[in-house]
A and B are shown apart, each in its own frame.
Chain A
Amino acid sequence: MNAPKAPTPSQPPDPSRSSYYISDALYGELIAGFTDWQDDTRAVTDVGARDEFRRLIEREARLLDQFRYDDWLAMYLPECVYWAPSTPNAGDPRREIAVMFDDRRRLEDRIYRINTGFAWSQAPQSRTVRLVTNVEVFATATSNVRMLRSNFLISEFWDKETRMLTGWAGHRVVRSGDGWKIAAKQINLLECYQAIRNLSIIL
């Protein structure tokens, strides 16, 4: 193995280089956490708070459309999860193949791959326009964590053709300094359990 050395208290592991935080505990907690919006009483109705999170989601969509990947990744906590389930009810990623289940390193792999210039499915790179809407904010049991639920429509143009990907996304955001960072995102494609045209963009 070429993996970096196991972390010690003085040297926290770099999640761009090693993946110590994806564990059974994390999977369990992730599955449980991505249900907070089932509870209407947790909905945050304050207009200012909702607008703050709506802007966060809109900015993420814009950065991806603009291929500003470094700025985009900076919106995420170092130890983050990017998860597109392959079943409509999300399921258990420990026993189900996902459309994708990325940690930070694998997200960086995606960007690295596109930048090699040899990713034929992204040469030329797809142009995208993302619409994000229906943003709802939910409080959680932890005061510095919010769950966001939003709908998306991605128009992707590649090779003389425009196609649509649609669905809804869940974001788990955590207070960090005077702002919020994304800890985990769940992308629920409408057709996640059916054959989909080549998914080679960063969703």
Chain B
Amino acid sequence: MTALEKVGAPPTRLGGTALYDWDCLVQEDRAHRLVYTDPAIFEAEMTQIFGGTWTYLAHESEIPNANDFITRRLGLRPLIIVRDAEGKIRALYNRCTHRGTTLCRFDKGNSKSFQCPYHGWNFLNTGRLRGVPWPEGYAADLRDPKYNLAQVARVESYRGFVFGTLNLDALPLTEHLGPIATVIDEWLDRNPGGEVVVCEANRFRFKANWKLAYDNSCDGYHVAYSHRSLLETENRFAGENAKGMAYYRNSPDTQAMYMRYTGHGNHYKDRRPNLEKRPGGLWALESAHPGMEHYEAEFIERYGERAFSLLDLAGSEPVNINVFPNLSLLGNHIQVFEPVSVDETNAVWYGTMIVDDGSIGADGVRDINALRMRTQEGFPNFGEVDDIANFEQIQRGLMAVEDEWVYMHRGLGIPDRVKTNVDGTITAPATDEAFMREHFKEWKRLMQTRANLAIRREP
């Protein structure tokens, strides 16, 4: 027997700024399809979330020198992220104060100033208006700060990761990150000098809402099924020694790996406890990559016993660290989600390389990086492609108007499964959807709150 389900009235938009009754759209165990499909909600997110909370903008290694710049976005706002002559990192609005043209159309470069291609207003990379053609045509005083470029009100870095927010009430970045900062520390500190440098990316565009990517960032439930082709390919010669994430195939919830929610929408999946901690442990888990046998033989000859801890630097760190709303460190990647529209998103998988802190030597660093590039190309080519196909198909599925709910209740209500720790963090088994329930609470909080937003201009 099937049961008939009566179709009720869909949630209606409220007048004024509230937009919706958010408690109706996001419930303990489920989220309404509209949070992924409604253009009005997307538009509200672009100020309430992207700008309303600390949002990842760039990595300092992308602008290492004075006057370096890159162009990025905060939500949909076009930005020029610069390191000015004094070394200060600023997030300038890439928007001429005259009539709105973007000032800079290059992805990156080095420049002390930006001249608008429309009428030639010229701005220093501090954001200050330097000059305009034929200024005698203006009665107004062009030294008024309102003609200087808008800037993201608050820009702060944590160990090379640059974040920005317009929210004057947001906690200082380090406090906002809280316990997730320790995991970021560990992710960095395994590299020489505790540092990595961004080195190009695998860049994907997909036709689905940005949250579908963030909902997936800590999802241990999908791995065995969504990535079945990858797991089978990685293990086609493996025999007894399973490669990659093969451990997801056998009762993943009873294993030592776990997920932890650390507040403010941030969470991480820690797969490290599954592995024996020993030199070469990470390397042994790597599936086949171009050059691996050659470099391994060469490293053993060159470095003896030390070879394996060096090869681990090319291995993938088994942790996913997700900083709401748009940053995901996984393996050695810095993955960034860039919303494009309600149903279009970029997922940019920035690669990272190690730097020579004197402990390895230039040749060793070059060779580790050559291997590390190939290990990092593996997942985007053989795994992310299938994730993205699924994100796009969710967006399509959500076009079924009457079937309203997306469920995220795996683990909910099972005694002793989800644990709240003394520090307030929440721990659950690796396939639990607790991370998603928790980041949706933060999403709802931000959507409900009228944030205290501001931009800044040079005086």
Are A and B co-members of a single complex? yes
Given A109-B233, A116-B232, A193-B107, the answer on whether A97 and B206 have CB atoms closer than 8 Å is no
Give residues 123-166 of A contacting B (CB, 8 Å): 159
- Taking a contact as CB atoms closer than 8 A, the residue among B292, B351, B366, B389 that contacts A121 in the complex is B389
> Are B289 and A94 touching (Cβ within 8 A)?
no
- Please, which residues of chain A bring their CB within 8 A of the CB of B236? 109, 112
**B286-310 interface code vs A (CB 8 A; 1 in, 0 out):** 0011111111111000000000000
CB distance from A88 to the nearest CB of B (A): 11
Residues from chain A with Cβ under 8 Å of B206 in the complex:
197-198
Instruction: For residue B53, give the distance in angstroms from its CB to the closest CB of chain A.
Output: 23
CA distance A197 to B345 in the complex (A): 10
Additional A-B contact list (10), CB under 8 Å, known A2-B239, A94-B369? A6-B293, A19-B291, A19-B294, A20-B293, A24-B367, A98-B373, A106-B289, A112-B232, A121-B389, A197-B204
> Knowing A95-B373, A112-B233, A121-B388 touch, does A106 contact B202 (C-beta < 8 A)?
no
Q: How far is the CA of A105 from the CA of B341 in the complex (A)?
A: 39
Contact indicator B232/A118 (Cβ below 8 Å):
yes
Min CB–CB distance A79 → chain B (angstroms): 11
Residue B376 interfacial (CB < 8 Å): yes
From known contacts A24-B366, A121-B385, infer whether A2 and B204 are also in contact, taking CB-CB under 8 Å: no
Distance in angstroms between the alpha carbons of A2 and B284 in the assembled complex = 9
Interface size on A, residues (CB 8 A): 52
Closest to B347 in A: A195
Q: How far is the CB of A165 from chain B (nearest CB, A)?
A: 13
- Going nearest first, the 8 A-B pairs with the smallest beta carbon separation are A22-B291, A97-B351, A121-B389, A195-B205, A94-B370, A103-B290, A118-B228, A119-B229
Interface assignment of A47: CB less than 8 Å from any CB of chain B: no
- B239 and chain A: residue at smallest CB distance: A2
A195-B348 CB under 8 A given contacts A19-B289, A106-B290, A118-B229: yes
Whether A97 lies near B373 (C-beta < 8 A) is: yes
In the complex, which residues of chain B have a beta carbon less than 8 angstroms from the beta carbon of A194? 203
Known: A109-B233, A118-B232. A195 touches B204 (CB 8 A): yes
B388 touching A198, Cβ below 8 Å? yes
Bound CA span A99–B347, Å: 14
Please encode chain A, from 179 to 203, with 1 for each CB lying within 8 Å of some chain B CB and 0 for all others: 0000000000000011111111000
**1/0 per position for B345-375, CB-CB distance to A under 8 A?**
0111111010000000000001101100110
A61–B388 Cα distance when bound, in Å, is: 26
Contact of B290 among A91, A96, A101, A118 (CB under 8 A): A101
Is the pair A20, B297 in contact by a Cβ cutoff of 8 Å? yes
Choice from A17, A21, A102, A110 contacting B294 with Cβ under 8 Å = A21
Kindly provide the distance from the CB of B210 to the nearest chain A CB, expressed in whole angstroms: 13
Contact B389 A120 (CB under 8 A): yes
Contact with B along A6-50 (1 / 0, CB 8 A): 100000010001111111100100000000000000000000000
B453: chain A residues within 8 A (beta carbon): none
List residues of chain A with CB within 8 A of the CB of B296.
Answer: 1, 3
Chain A CB within 10 A, most for which of B201, B203, B366: B203
Interfacial residues of chain A within 50-103, with CB under 8 A of chain B in the complex: 86-87, 91, 93-103
Query: CB distance B290 to A19 under 8 Å?
Result: yes
Q: Contact residue range for chain B?
A: 35 or more
Q: State whether A97 touches B202 (Cβ < 8 A).
A: yes
The answer to whether B377 and A3 have CB atoms under 8 Å apart is: no
User: B382 contacts which of A22, A98, A109 (Cβ < 8 Å)?
Assistant: A109
A113 and B229 form a contact (CB under 8 A): yes
Within the complex, the shortest CB–CB distance from B215 to chain A, in Å, comes to 17
Taken together as a complex, chains A and B put the C-alpha atoms of A1 and B238 apart, in Å, by: 9
In the complex, A99 Cα to B377 Cα: how many Å? Answer: 7
Evaluate contact between A22 and B290: CB separation under 8 angstroms: yes
Q: Quick check: B200 and A198 within 8 Å, CB to CB?
A: no
Partner of A101, one of B284, B347, B350, B373: B373
Binary flags per residue of B387-413, CB closer than 8 Å to A gives 1, else 0: 011101000000000000000000000
Chain A positions within 8 Å of B348 at CB level:
195
Q: Which residues of B contact A95 (CB under 8 A)?
A: 199, 353, 366, 369-370, 373
- Quick check: B382 and A113 within 8 Å, CB to CB? yes
Of B203, B226, B294, the contact of A120 (CB 8 Å cutoff): B226
Contacts of B369 in A (CB 8 A): 94-95
| Cα(A93)–Cα(B288), bound, Å | 17
Q: Does B253 contact A (CB under 8 A)?
A: no
B32 to chain A, nearest CB (A): 26
Bound Cα distance from A117 to B298, whole angstroms: 37
- B237 x A17 contact (CB < 8 A): yes
Expressed in whole angstroms, the Cα–Cα distance for A2 and B203 within the complex equals 32
A198 nearest in chain B by CB position: B388
A166 to chain B, nearest CB (A): 16
B292 lies within 8 A of A3 (CB): yes
Q: Does B442 belong to the interface (CB within 8 Å)?
A: no
Instruction: Say yes or no: is B149 at the interface (Cβ < 8 Å to chain A).
Output: no
| CA gap between A112 and B366 in the complex, in Å | 31
CB-based contact B232/A3 at 8 Å: no
CB-based contact A86/B367 at 8 Å: no
Q: A19-B293, A22-B290, A113-B382 known; A99 and B202 CB under 8 Å?
A: yes
